[in-house]
Amino acid sequence: MPRIRVLDPSVIGKIRAGEVVDRPAAVAKELVENALDAGSTLISVHAASHPERLVRVQDDGLGMSREDALLALRRHATSKIESADDLASIRSLGFRGEALASIAEVSRLSLSTRSSDELTGTQVEALGGAVIQVSGVGRAVGTTVVVEDLFFNTPARLRFLKSREAEIRVLSRVVWNYALTYPRVHWKFSVEGREDTDLPEARDLVERWEVLYGRGPEDGSAEFDHEAAGVHVSGVLGAPEQARASRDHQTFAVNGRVVSSATLAAALRQGYGNLLPGDRYPLALVLIEIDPGQVDANVHPTKREVRFRDEARVFQVLRRAVEAAMRRYVPTGISFGDPGAVREPRGDLGYGGRAGDPSTVVTMPAPGTGTEILPASSLLLALDTAAVGGAADAREQERGDLEESLAEPEITIWQLHDRYLLAPIRGGMVIVDQHAAHERVLYEEARAHLFGGTGASQVLLFPRVVDLTPAEMDTLLLMEPHLRRLGYEASLFGERQVAVRGVPASIPEEAAIDSLKAVLASVDTLGEGGDPPEEHIAKSYACHAAVRSGQALSPVERRALVDRLFATSLPHGDPHGRPTYVRVSMEELDRRFGRR
Ligand code: ADP
Ligand code: MG
């Protein structure tokens, strides 16, 4: 008795048919879901550099008998449901029995598989949906599906594809999301011409999260788990300051299926409350387990979207769970003065860099002294004494005063027109220019790395390919050692491209890529004003990586920025000599208001 049955037409009617495959990522998604349904422990995904030319998914799951292998390519053939009633209790990711058929119809598909009860495997070749060859094949138990020349017979679809880069990115996200959701599965992912990714089986969600995001509980990521009203929510939440400008790093899965859902996204966002400005999206992995009868996965033809029978209930449960998890970040934990308090705001401005790493500033070896460790201020002062001149002592004193009064717990720092930060200090207030301040912080950090120890790098799981002009390419070759010290890791990738595999840890990925391009493009001015290349790079890098004027900052980020500014050697000015903050005394205010 074959495991796969052809569905009754009445069931077919209940299943909204639709276009299942619209791009290579959809192929990967369907094949990965099938591999998961087959109980695989190792899933390996490979794509050609033009993923529509080849996507291959290999698994070590149950495999199929010869009979099943042939049925699998037929539309509405599935082993997963039998009747319409089963739709209400689906636990598997697939159930329509149309993915393989749909993919086969628009590609050259080869399926090779063996189940444990057969000694020889089966290989099926199909072209445009027609089976053209079936043969025996020796192979391990499991299944390999290779999809080549996608949309060869539907050129309109082919034209609809985005750039090679964009398609690879979407496909990578599919693998990323499933790898996060299924930590017990060993994943392999490779794209032609790029470094392979190997994610051996992880103990749990957090361990996989740490491997993928390069940060874990010490950086403020929080695991959560909560059950109410028949809805079980669990997962991992990134610290508020790690939030990103896009939703790309939010993964939602319902009963093991990666989905998108406006309801879940809104509940997550509301759970963070005012710990985040409106345009920031937290890193998150949210798993929902709920009675399958409460879920309609049929809304979207590719099952990308889900709808809950009781949307409000799921919303409530998730929002409350996130809110509860957020209590740990509420400001009592980040009081400035208490050395025992959580110091996470210090090292990170929350644009996605590694959170809280004050050590990169504090323990940098001094230039030329090898391993000697100096406190940050004396080291950085030593780097910049020429510019300080005789005013150094007085400024040191003022800085000390400011730091002390900013150390008051519970002070509020306001942001004015997304450009200036206002903070009360003893005897008055300071107004900080957020861009200039961040520029100073990054400039000193960059100099410390360029002249001292190499900076921490965050590894990008999926390297970013950057297009360069020939001139920029030359600059890159010239400056590579310096860029490496800043935390960049790039290698040539074709004649006009580099693959960036690592970026400085203290700034977000986007900003890091932008400033890399800016540094490379600024070659024309290199050497002007007699600056050594390190100096030139530090300035250009800081200027482009710094938070812009116009960027909203969360309360945590504001504190982090002010805190870090006053930890620099020269908090008063940016690298171009513009002031970073203005101090307004009570006397001056009193004078202006005619009080004295
Ligand atoms: P669905 O997943 O909705 O059932 P598909 O077209 O994706 O439909 O797959 C059809 C059938 O082929 C599945 O029900 C399953 O029995 C079988 N199948 C597909 N991929 C695999 C795999 N990797 N391992 C084992 N069986 C598979
Ligand atoms: Mg399927």
The pLDDT tens digits for 569-584 are 777 888 877 888 888 8
pLDDT in tens, 513-548: 989 988 888 766 665 556 677 888 888 899 999 998
**Which pLDDT belongs to residue 168?**
92
Helix, strand, coil percentages (3-state) for the chain, rounded to 5, are 40, 25, 35
| Per-residue model confidence (pLDDT) at position 141 | 97
pLDDT of residue 93: 84
Ligand 1 near 282 CB (within 6 A): no
Tell whether the model's pLDDT for residue 378 goes beyond 70: no
How far is the first Cα of the chain from the last one, in angstroms, to the nearest whole number? 98
Mean per-residue pLDDT, 183-189: 96
Closest CA to 220 of 319, 323, 333, 321: 333
User: Are residues 299 and 15 in contact, defined by beta-carbon separation less than 8 angstroms?
Assistant: no
**What ligand has the least distance to the C-alpha of 57?**
1
450 neighbors 538 (Cβ within 8 angstroms): yes
Mean pLDDT (the chain) is: 80
What's the CA-to-centroid distance between 100 and ligand 1, angstroms?
Answer: 7
Does the structure show a pLDDT above 60 at 360? no
What average pLDDT score do residues 108-133 get? 95
Q: What is the pLDDT of residue 305?
A: 79
Ligand 2 center to 249 CA (angstroms): 25
37 phi, psi to nearest 5 deg: -60, -30
The pLDDT confidence band at residue 215, using thresholds 50, 70 and 90, is confident
Q: Which residues pair with 504 in a beta bridge?
A: 457
Confidence category of residue 100, pLDDT binned at 50, 70, 90: very high
- Cβ of 105 closer than 6 Å to ligand 1, yes or no, is no
**What is the number of the ligand 1 atom nearest to the C-alpha of 98?**
6
Query: With helix as H, strand as E and coil as C, how does 199-253 read?
Result: ECCCCCHHHHHHHHHCCCHHHCCEEEEEEECCEEEEEEECCHHHCECCHHHEEEE
Name the residue with the closest Cα to ligand 1, atom 2: 94
The CA dihedral of 62, 462, 150, 44, to the nearest 10 degrees, is -20
> What b/e string do you get for 91-130 counting C-beta neighbours within 10 Å, with b at 16 or more?
ebbbbbbbbbbbbbbbbbbbbbbbbeebeebbbbbbbebe
Question: Distance, CA 41 to ligand 2 centroid (Å)?
Answer: 17
The reported pLDDT for the residue numbered 384 is: 29
What spacing in Å lies between the alpha carbon of 38 and ligand 2's midpoint? Answer: 10
Which tokens in the block code for residue 93? 């990711």
CB within 8 Å of 156: residues ≥ 6 apart? none
Atom of ligand 1 nearest to the CA of 62: 25
Q: Mean pLDDT, to the nearest integer, of 1-6? A: 72
Query: 59-68, 271-280, 340-349: which has the minimum mean pLDDT?
Result: 340-349
- 67 CA → ligand 2 middle, Å: 17
**How far apart are the C-alpha atoms of 228 and 319, rounded to whole Å?**
12
Q: Which amino acid is at 291?
A: D
Atom of ligand 1 nearest to the CA of 143: 23
Helix (H, G, I), strand (E, B) or coil at 193: coil
| 30 pocket-lining for ligand 1 (C-beta < 6 Å) | yes
Ion ligand 2 — residues with CB under 5 Å?
A: 34, 94, 99
Q: Look at residue 161 in the predicted model and tell me its pLDDT.
A: 84
